[in-house]
Chain A
C-alpha cells in the first residue's frame, strides 16, 4: 500500500491531507499540476475526474483533481490564473475529455491541450455553465 501522507511533499505542495466526509482533500497555496499528475502516475493512482467550481467573490474557478489510490478518494484543489492552467493530458491521457469539457463549460484554457470540440458544435462559444454576466 502506498503511503498517502507523503504525497503532498512529493508533489512539492504545502499542507497535508484533510479528511472530510470520507475522502481526503489537499488545498495547497501553490500547485504545479503537471508535477502532481506525474507523482500520481508514479503511485499508480487512477485519475477519476476534475470538477470546476465558481465561488462567489472569486474571479478564478477552483479546479478539483480527483484521484483514486487503492480505493481512497484523493482530491487536490487549485485555481486557474487568468483562466489558464497547464494541461495534464500529456502525462495523464485520461484527462483529455474532462479538460475539453471544462473548457467548454467554464472557458478555462488548458495550455498545450490539443483542443477538439467535445460537447459543443462548431460556432458555439465556450462558457455554457458561466453566469450570464461572465459569458
Chain B
C-alpha cells in the first residue's frame, strides 16, 4: 500500500522553502509532486515600475547567491536595445565577478551536498573555503551578496588589485584539488550515496530541456559561454566538463571540475585585464523602443532575460526572467521515481535548486 510524505515547505532537508509531496511504496519513491511559489514576490511586475537604474538593483535581489548574473543579464539586454558597446576592461571585470560568483556558488553547493550525505566535515571545509571567495568579492565590490557591479554600458567598480584576487583564486584551486575533488570522486562513503542515484538519462534531459551542470551531467555539452559567448569569454580558453552517467555523482563531478575551469578562466582574465575605461557612458543612456534578449551561463545554468522598452517611458515595458532552476526543477520528479526515500534530499539538492530565483 502506498503512502504520502510531505516534505516542506519548511524542512531541514530543503535549503529554501518549497514542497515535495512524495508517494512511496515502503522505502521506494513512486512519484513526486513539486509545489513552488512560497517566495513569490512579483519581481517581474515590480520591474515595470522601476527606472532603468533602479531595475538593476531590483533584479539583483532576485537571488541571494547568483545576484551578479541577474544584474549582468538585465544590463546586457538593455545594452542590446541601446546598441551600446561595453569597454574591454569592463567586459573582463564582468567575467571575473561572474566566475568568482560561480566559484562560491559551486563551493556552497558542495558543502550542502556534503551535509546531505552525512559528511559534515566536508560541509565545514567547503563553507570555510567559500568565505575566502566571499572576502574577495567584498574586497572588489564592498559587499558580500549584492555586489552592484554592473551598470548599463560598463561596471561600477574597477579591480584595483588583480594580484590579490589571483592569490585567493590559487588558494581555492589548491584546496579544491586537495580535498573536495578527491573526496567526491574517491571516497567510498561519499560515492555510496551518489553513484547510480537520481539518474536523469540524456534523452530525458534533452526532452525536459534542463540546463547547466544538470544537463552536462547527463551528457549534454551545452554552455552559453561557449555556444553564444558574451562579455570576454570568446577571448578565454576553458573546457566544458561533461559526464554521461546522469546521476548525483555526475552532477557532483561536473561542478567540482567546473570550479577548476573557473579558476583557469580567472587566471587568464586577471592576467589579460586590459587597461582603459571601465565605467562606460557617463551621460544618461537614451533607451529606444525594442526588445533585448540576454543569455548568460549562471552557476546553475542558462539564465534568459527578455527586456522590452517602449522608447517613451523611463521604465521597462516588460522584464521576463527564465532562471535555470525553473528549467531544471521539473526533472527532479523524474530523478526521484524509483529512488530510495532516504536519497530524496540529496537528489533534489543535486540540481542545486534556487527558489528565490525560481519564484521571483
Residue B308 CB within 8 A of the other chain: yes
Cβ contact within 8 Å between B304 and A66: yes
Number of interface residues of B (CB under 8 A): 38
The secondary structure that dominates the B interface is mixed
Residue B157 CB within 8 A of the other chain: no
Cβ contact within 8 Å between A93 and B208: yes
Residue B101 CB within 8 A of the other chain: no
Cross-interface CB contact of B80 among A21, A51, A70, A98, cutoff 8 Å? A21
Cross-interface CB contact of B322 among A20, A98, A116, A128, cutoff 8 Å? A98
CA distance A96 to B209 in the complex (A): 11
Quick one: closest B residue to A105, CB to CB?
B44
Cross-interface CB contact of B208 among A70, A71, A94, A116, cutoff 8 Å? A94
Residue B292 CB within 8 A of the other chain: yes
Residue A49 CB within 8 A of the other chain: yes
Cβ contact within 8 Å between A129 and B42: yes
Chain B CB within 10 A, most for which of A20, A49, A116: A49
Across the interface, which residues of A come within 8 angstroms of B33, CB to CB? 116
Cβ contact within 8 Å between A47 and B326: no
Cβ contact within 8 Å between A73 and B37: no
Cross-interface CB contact of B228 among A21, A46, A71, A120, cutoff 8 Å? A71
Cβ contact within 8 Å between A48 and B208: no
Cβ contact within 8 Å between A48 and B36: no
Across chains A and B, the number of contacting residue pairs, with CB separation under 8 Å, is: 88
Cβ contact within 8 Å between A44 and B293: no
| In the complex with contacts A22-B80, A48-B302, A53-B318, A119-B40 CB distance below 8 A | yes
Residue B206 CB within 8 A of the other chain: yes
CA distance A51 to B294 in the complex (A): 13
Residue A87 CB within 8 A of the other chain: no
Cβ contact within 8 Å between A48 and B209: yes
The secondary structure that dominates the A interface is mixed
Cβ contact within 8 Å between A44 and B206: yes
CA distance A64 to B304 in the complex (A): 13
CA distance A119 to B358 in the complex (A): 10
Write the A31-60 contact mask toward B (1 if CB under 8 angstroms, else 0).
Answer: 000000000000010111101111010000
Interface range on chain A: under 10, 10 to 19, 20 to 34, or 35 or more?
A: 35 or more
Residue B207 CB within 8 A of the other chain: yes
CA distance A93 to B333 in the complex (A): 13
Residue B295 CB within 8 A of the other chain: yes
Residue A118 CB within 8 A of the other chain: yes
Cβ contact within 8 Å between A128 and B42: yes
Cβ contact within 8 Å between A118 and B304: no
Could you pull out 22 A-B pairs where Cβ atoms are within 8 angstroms?
A: A20-B291, A21-B80, A21-B81, A22-B80, A22-B293, A46-B222, A48-B295, A48-B304, A48-B322, A49-B304, A51-B306, A51-B318, A54-B318, A56-B310, A66-B304, A93-B208, A97-B326, A97-B329, A97-B330, A118-B36, A119-B37, A129-B42
A-B pairs with lowest CB-CB distance, top 8? A71-B227, A94-B209, A49-B322, A119-B37, A21-B80, A51-B320, A51-B306, A47-B209
For the complex with contacts A49-B327, A94-B330, A97-B326, 6 further pairs of A-B residues with Cβ separation under 8 Å are: A21-B290, A48-B302, A51-B320, A64-B306, A94-B208, A129-B45
Chain B residues with CB under 8 Å of chain A are 33, 35-37, 40, 42, 44-45, 80-81, 83, 206-209, 222, 226-228, 290-293, 295, 302, 304, 306, 308, 310, 317-318, 320, 322, 326-327, 329-330, 359
